[in-house]
Amino acid sequence: MSKVLVSDPIDQAGIDILSQVATVDVKTGLKPAELIEIIGEYDALMIRSGTRVTQEIIEAGTQLKIIGRAGVGVDNVDVPAATRRGIVVVNSPEGNTIAAAEHALAMMLSLSRHIPDANASVKRGEWDRKTFVGAEVYKKTLGVVGLGKIGSHVATVAKAMGMKLLAYDPFISTERAEQLGCQLVDLDLLMQQSDYITLHIPKTPETTHLINANTLAKMKPTARIINCARGGIIDEAALAAAIKEGKIAGAALDVFESEPLGESELRTVGKDIILTPHLGASTTEAQVNVAIDVAEQIRDVLLGLPARSA
Ligand code: NAD
Ligand code: MLT
C-alpha cells in the first residue's frame, strides 16, 4: 500500500480520502532534519504553509510521486527541484478564495472603524467613544491590485457596499475589469486616488517590494493599505515609517516577509495597524475545501491517474 505523509494540520475530510488508498501518517511540526530522515518512506507529501519543501527534502524523498499543497501558493515548495525529479506538485487554486477575500474585507472594515482597539479598550474596562470615531467606506475609492480570483470577489462585494473601484492588473482585459465595475488604471494613479488599497497578487521577483517608500509616498495621508496576499510585496520597514510619520492613515497585514512574525517595527506602530497571523484561508469551509481538493488529486496520482499540476 502507498504511504502518505501529512506534515501540516489538514482537515480530516482530506485524511479520510487519502486513507481509502494509502497508509496516512500525520506528523506535524517536524524540523527539516527530521523530515529529511523520514521522507524516503513516502509516496506522497501533503502540506499547508508550515512545511518548507526544499531541494534537500525533495532529494531525500526517493519514493515521492506527488507533493500536495492544501492552499493556493506553492512558494514554500521548490517546484523546479520537484519537476527535475519527476514529482508532481498540486494545489487548490480556488478552495480558499472566498475566505481570503472575506478576510481582506474584514480588515478594511476593522481598520475604518478601529474595531480591534475599541474592543481591547472596552475589555480593559474603558468606555471611550471619542478616540474611535471611524470613517465610512460608502462612496470611498477602493484600489484593487490584482484582479484575479480573490481580487474579483473583493471588488464584487465592495461594489455592493457602494464603493468606487479602481484596479491595477496588467494581465486583465478592460472588458473583464468593466464587468466587475472596476476602472483599470496604472499603479501610480491607483496609489494616488484610492482611500483603501488591497493587494491580491502573487509574490514574484516583479512584485517583491512593489509597495515601497516611493509608492507609499503617492498615497493620500488619509488612505489605508491591506495585504492579505503574500509577505514581501510591501516593504515592511517603509510601511512602518510611513504610518509613524503620518504619511498614510494605516495598514492591515495578514502576511509577512518572515513568518511567524518575529521582532518587527510593525509591532511598534500602534493603533493604526492591524496584524493577523496568516488567517486568510483559516475558515472551516476553506480548510475542508482545500483538504478535499488536494487529497483527491493525491489519491488519483497514487491510483495511476493523470495529475492536474500547480
Ligand atoms: P489569482 O492568480 O487568481 O490572481 C492573481 C492576479 O494577480 C491575476 O489576475 C494576475 O494577473 C495578477 N498579477 C500577477 N502579477 C501582477 C503584477 N505584477 N501586478 C499586478 N497584478 C498582477 O490568485 P488569487 O487566488 O486571487 O490569489 C492572490 C494572492 O493571494 C496570492 O498571492 C495567494 O497566494 C494569496 N493568498 C493568500 C491567502 C492568505 O491566507 N492570506 C489565502 C489565499 C491566497
Ligand atoms: C494560500 O496560499 O493558500 C494561503 O496563504 C493560505 C494558506 O497557506 O493556508
Q: Could you tell which of 28, 47, 52, 72 is best to mutate to test the pocket of ligand 2, judged by most ligand atoms within 8 Å of the CB?
A: 72
Residue 145: closest CA among 88, 207, 69: 207
Sign of CA dihedral 147, 152, 154, 160: positive
Find the residues whose C-beta lies inside 6 A of ligand 2. Answer: 48-49, 71-73, 96, 280-281
* Å from CA of 40 to ligand 1 middle: 33
Task: Give pLDDT tens digits for 11-30.
Answer: 999 999 999 999 999 999 99
Q: Which residues contact 122 (CB under 8 A, 6 or more apart)?
A: none
Number of Cβ within 10 Å of residue 115's Cβ equals 15
pLDDT confidence of residue 309? 63
pLDDT confidence of residue 205? 96
* Å from CA of 288 to ligand 1 middle: 21
ipTM exceeds 0.90, yes or no: yes
Task: Give pLDDT tens digits for 240-255.
Answer: 999 999 999 999 999 9
Helices 97-113 and 115-123: crossing angle in degrees, nearest 10, is 70
Helix, strand, coil proportions of the chain in percent (round to 5)?
A: 40, 15, 45
Residue 131: closest CA among 157, 148, 113: 113
Q: Could you tell which of 7, 28, 48 is best to mutate to test the pocket of ligand 2, judged by most ligand atoms within 8 Å of the CB?
A: 48
Just list the catalytic residues.
Answer: 230, 259, 278
Please give the Cα distance from 30 to 33 (Å, whole number).
8
